[in-house]
Structure 1
Amino acid sequence: MQAMILAAGFGTRLRPYTLIQPKPLFPILNRPLLHRLLDMLAAVGYRRIIVNCHHLATRVRDALGPYPGVICQYEPEILGTGGSLRMALNHLDDEPLLVMNGDIVHSIDPAALYEYHRCSGNMVTMAVHDYPRFNTVAVAHDRVLSFQPEPGVQRLAFTGIHVVEPQVLARIPEKSFFHIIDLYQELAGRGRVGILRVDGSFWRDIGTPEDYLQLHGELLAGTGEMSIAGAGKIRGNWLSAGDVHMADGVELCDWGCLGHGVRVGEG
């Protein structure tokens, strides 16, 4: 199985933080999100994995150091999802490609989606769910009708995870910016874009600072007590990466993450 993680974007909704750190490298419980996604793919059998990069590309490339088998696809110009996937054809075998956004935290099974696609006869299979904030994909039964809301038609949200046949990507113009949804809309009109509902899976987007904070509040709920050097007190759900020290009289409440080497001083 082969997969691609999209990690080239600017992360404009997360500025100014993304001016110094690309969104896929934001820590999730003190580990880069990109590492978590790579581990997820490797654990279920993906052996060929591509990560594209453009914005702060050196940081992304450096983050792939612990993953020597991963292909880093540098894009001198931003190409959009379609242009990036077309460029990836240079690295792919003649089999379906799983595509995953690099800014989502989820429990969707990428192997199950891949197998469903292979048995479906679809040209594209999209993992979707009912998520009212993002419900913009018009569907009927197991097919996408349109990527624009239509009156009287059920709408679901695209999770940012899908599987596509390589011959679809070959139709994209080379070395140019391209919105992949433009091509998928054409295929949907011919009934060639299917869906797999994943409503029971955990899924969160870290597109904004508020989303990022809310995600950690959810993940840390119920984590229990932890040990930190020093005489401070902890009341709530906190996570420490280690080598953390709290001064006397400090009290941590609610929830949060403390990274390596953090010192919490008095006051």
Structure 2
Amino acid sequence: MPDSLMLFSAGLGTRMGALTKDRPKPLIEVAGKPLIDHALALADGYGPLRRVANSHYRADQLQAHLAGRDVAVSHEEPRILDTGGGLRAAMPLLGDGPVFTLNTDMVWSGPNPLQLLADAWDPERMDALLLCVPLARAVGRKGAGDFSIAEDGQLFREGDFVYTGAQIIRTEELPEIEDEAFSLNVLWNRMSARGRLFGLPFPGRWADVGHPEGIRLAEEMIGADV
């Protein structure tokens, strides 16, 4: 079972416009709480985990916010490494074996996504397990879905499921990638070709807070739960 969590928090936040002029996207507040704190609350709710966040844009602010909170920081310099390169750079802090990864520009309503992934993880069959939400319950999502999920749980490109930014993934192949900066799509494609890329439907609601309108929509979603 994974005992480490990678928090992707190094993005430039360009879709946020003026909101990220003076702060990194993970420190933008939703319902009075920075986005990265929403993600850390999920980790706290799951249980003990080695937690690592990557940083790049306005890294000093993120590092100051995380100081004393038992979160190691993997700083990416001089350029951002994307999800695959960022995860590989953080491996010395994360340790060996499969890891949870969690995007920090999402807000959730429903069961703890980390617990759902842990309960469904089957290392005998899976190299990655991606948590996906039906497009109809993807609040703030702009555009089509990402994947379809077969009856046996295998994940395939194109369909009405949206990747939520939460997954369990094996990391052994990361050192084989030659590029310094690369997306985890490179690994997913390899895993899919072997029939070892799986998806799990999320039964709750999920909000994309990668754009300014997403803040209001996420707050309305959270408010509806109160």
Normalising by the smaller structure, the TM-score range is 0.7 to 0.9
Q: 1:222 to 1:44 in 2, by over 3 A?
A: closer
Partner Cα distance (1:120, 1:127) in 2: 18
Among the aligned pairs, what percent are the same residue? 25
Alpha-carbon deviation of 1:172?
3.0
Partner Cα distance (2:178, 2:49) in 1: 27
**Secondary structure of 2:63 counterpart:** helix
1:22-43: per-residue Cα shift (whole Å, max 9, x none)?
A: 1111112211121221122022
Q: Is the radius of gyration larger for structure 1 or structure 2?
A: 1
Partner Cα distance (1:81, 1:42) in 2: 23
Partner Cα distance (2:200, 2:224) in 1: 29
Q: 1:194 aligns to what?
A: 198
Task: Using structure 2 for the length normalisation, give the TM-score.
Answer: 0.87
Does 2:59 match 1:49? no
Q: 1:221 to 1:202 in 2, by over 3 A?
A: closer
1:83-128: per-residue Cα shift (whole Å, max 9, x none)?
A: 0011111112222100000100014430230232245520011001
Alignment of 1:35-114 (within 5 A): 35-67=37-69, 69-76=70-77, 77-106=79-108, 107=110, 108-114=112-118
* Aligned-CA RMSD value: 1.9
**Unmatched segments (≥5 aa) in structure 2:** 137-142
Partner Cα distance (2:102, 2:9) in 1: 9
1:58-95: per-residue Cα shift (whole Å, max 9, x none)?
A: 1110110240x211111011101110011111112222
**Secondary structure of 1:167 counterpart:** coil
Q: 1:104 to 1:222 in 2, by over 3 A?
A: closer
Does 2:29 match 1:27? yes
Whether the 8 Å CA contact 1:103–1:207 is kept in 2: the answer is yes
- Counterpart pick for 2:155 among 130, 144, 151: 144
Partner Cα distance (2:44, 2:71) in 1: 10
**Secondary structure of 1:100 counterpart:** strand
**Unmatched segments (≥5 aa) in structure 1:** 224-267
1:195-218: per-residue Cα shift (whole Å, max 9, x none)?
A: 1111x2121011111111222233
- Counterpart pick for 1:14 among 10, 13, 16: 16
Q: Which amino acid aligns with 1:210?
A: E
Partner Cα distance (1:220, 1:111) in 2: 23
Alpha-carbon deviation of 1:134?
4.1
Whether the 8 Å CA contact 1:3–1:46 is kept in 2: the answer is no
**Secondary structure of 1:163 counterpart:** strand
Whether the 8 Å CA contact 2:12–2:24 is kept in 1: the answer is yes
Q: Which amino acid aligns with 2:168?
A: V
Partner Cα distance (1:63, 1:103) in 2: 16
Whether the 8 Å CA contact 2:135–2:162 is kept in 1: the answer is yes
- Counterpart pick for 1:213 among 209, 212, 216: 216
Task: Using structure 1 for the length normalisation, give the TM-score.
Answer: 0.74
Aligned residue pairs: how many? 214
Does 2:144 match 1:126? no
**Secondary structure of 2:173 counterpart:** helix
